[in-house]
Amino acid sequence: MAALRGSGRPAERSGRARVLPAVRRFLATRQLAAVAVVSVQAGLATAAAWIIAMDFLGRDAPVFAPVAALATIASATGQRTRQTVELLIGVGLGITVADILLYFIGSGAWQIAVVVSSSVALGLLVAGRSGALVSQAGATATLFATLAGNQRSLELPRIIDAAVGTSIGFLAVALLLPLDPLGAVDRAAKPFFTHLAAAIHTTAQALATGDRDRAMRALDSFDEVAIDSTRLNEALRAAEENVTIAPWWRRRRDRYRQYRAAVDQLDGFTTDIRVMIRRIATLLEYREPVPRPLHRAVDTLGDALAHLHRDCTTAQPSGRTHQCVLEAARLAGYADRHQPFPFGEAVVLQIRSAASDLLRAAGVTPQQANRLVREAATKPDGR
C-alpha cells in the first residue's frame, strides 16, 4: 500500500503542475476584478431600478426598469451612451409602429407577426444592424401586440420604465466601484507599442544584414499590429466614457487626453512604417547599397516609439522621445547624402515622414514637427 501511495504521488504532483498554470492562465484572461465589479453593478442597479419604479413611481410590476438597467451596464464599455440612446429610440419606435398598425388591423396571431416584422424592419432601416435599437423596437412591438387586448395605455409606463432603468444603469457605472479607465488603456497599449516597435527593430536588423525575408516577416506582423490598434482605440473610447461620467476619474482626464492625442497621430505613423518596410524590402530585393546610418535611423525610430510609450504610461515626458526622433532624422539625412539610389531615397522620405508623425504624437505642433525634422535631416554633421 505504501508503495502504491508512493508511486501515485509523483503522478499527482505532475498533474497539479499541469493544471495549476492552466487555471492561472484562465483566471488571468478573465480579469476577475472587472467581472466582480460589473456583477455587483448589475445586481444593485437592477434592484434599485425595480424599487424606484415600483415604490416611488407607483408602477405595478415594472419589469422593464431592471431590464433597461441591466442592458445599460451590459453594453460594451465605451458604448453605453450610444446603446442607451438606441435603447430609448427603439422603445419609442416599437410603440409608434405597434400603435399605428394595431389601430388599423386589430389584434391577433397574424397581426403580431405583421407588427413585429414591421418594427424590426424599420429599426434596421433606421440603424442598420445596431443590436440595441432593433432588439428594443422588436421587443416593445411584441409586448404591445400581445397585450393589446388585455391592457391599455402601456406607452407611457414602458417609456418611464426604460428611462428609470437606463438612468440607474448610468449611475451604477459612475458611482458603484467604477473600474480604472486608464488601467485598461495601459493594458491595451502595451502590445500595440511592443509589436510595432519590434517590427521596426526587426526591419533595422534586416537592413543591417541584407535579409529581405526578415523585412517581409516584419511586414507580415502588421496584421497583429492592426488588431492591437483596434483594441487600443476601443479601450480609449471606454476610458473617455468613464472619465466623463464617473466623478472618481475626472482627475485622469489630462492623462487620457495625452493618450488620445498620441494614438490619433500614431495611426499616420503606423502607415508610414508599413510603407517604409515595404520600400526596404524592395531595396533589399534589388540589392541597392545601404549606408550604415540608414539602418541605425530605423532602429532609433523604434527606440523613440518605446520612449513615447513610457511617456504615455507615466504622464511624465522625459524628452527622450524628441531626442531619438531627431537623431533618426539626422541619420536618415546623412544616409540620403550618401545614397543616390531611388529606393534608398524613398526609405529616407518615409523615415522623415514617420519622424514628423511621432513628434506630433509627442505633443509637437505639425508645423514645428516638420521644421525640426527638416533641420535635423539637413545638418552637415554626419557623425
Cβ partners under 8 Å of residue 192, min gap 6: 225, 228, 229, 231, 232
List, for residues 107-148, the tens digit of each pLDDT value.
Answer: 788 888 998 898 888 888 877 665 677 877 787 778 777 765
Per the listing, cell 412591438 goes with 141
Mean pLDDT value across residues 17-36:
54
**% of residues, the chain, pLDDT over 70:** 79
Least confident of 6-20, 304-318, 356-370: 6-20
User: In whole angstroms, what is the distance from residue 86 CA to residue 375 CA?
Assistant: 51
Report CA-CA distances (Å) from 195 to 127, 131, 227.
36, 33, 11
- Minimal CA–CA distance to 35: which of 91, 73, 82, 83? 73
Q: Nearest-5° angle of CA 373, CA 379, CA 383?
A: 110
For range 16-41, the mean pLDDT: 58
Mean pLDDT, to the nearest integer, of 194-214? 95
Task: Give the per-residue pLDDT at 291.
Answer: 85
What does the pLDDT read at residue 32?
61
C-alpha dihedral sign at 199, 202, 204, 206: negative
Q: Compute the C-alpha angle 272/314/320, nearest 5°.
A: 55
Q: What is the residue-averaged pLDDT of the chain?
A: 80
pLDDT at position 34 over 50: yes
User: Which one is predicted more confidently, 237 or 372?
Assistant: 372
pLDDT band at residue 30, thresholds of 50, 70 and 90?
Answer: very low
Q: What is the pLDDT of residues 147-200, one digit of tens each?
A: 655 555 556 677 788 788 888 887 777 676 556 778 888 889 999 999 999 999
CA 25 to chain centre: 22
- Given pLDDT bands bounded at 50, 70 and 90, which one contains residue 69? confident
What's the pLDDT band for 26 if we cut at 50, 70, 90?
Answer: very low
pLDDT in tens, 253-270: 778 888 888 999 999 999
pTM listed for this prediction: 0.67
Asked whether the beta carbons of 174 and 247 are under 8 A apart, the reply is yes
The residue ranges of every structural domain in the chain are 34-175, 181-377
Q: From CA 36, how far away is CA 179, in angstroms rounded?
A: 10
Provide the pLDDT for residue 20. 54
| pLDDT reported for residue 129 | 63
pLDDT of residue 247: 59
Least confident of 27-41, 136-150, 172-186, 281-295: 27-41
Q: Tell me, what's the pLDDT at 191?
A: 94
In this prediction, residue 223 has a pLDDT band, given cuts at 50, 70 and 90, of: very high
For the stretch 298-336, pLDDT in tens is 999 999 999 999 998 887 788 899 999 999 999 999 988
Mean pLDDT of 287-307: 92
CA dihedral 238, 244, 250, 254 (to 10 degrees): 70
Query: Is a pLDDT exceeding 50 seen at residue 29?
Result: no
Q: At what angle do helices 109-127 and 131-147 cross, to 10 degrees?
A: 160
Q: CA-to-CA distance for 76 and 67, rounded, in angstroms?
A: 16
Does residue 22 have a pLDDT over 60? no
Contact between 111 and 105 under an 8 Å Cβ cutoff? The reply is yes
The CATH-assigned architecture of domain 181-377 is: Up-down Bundle (1.20)
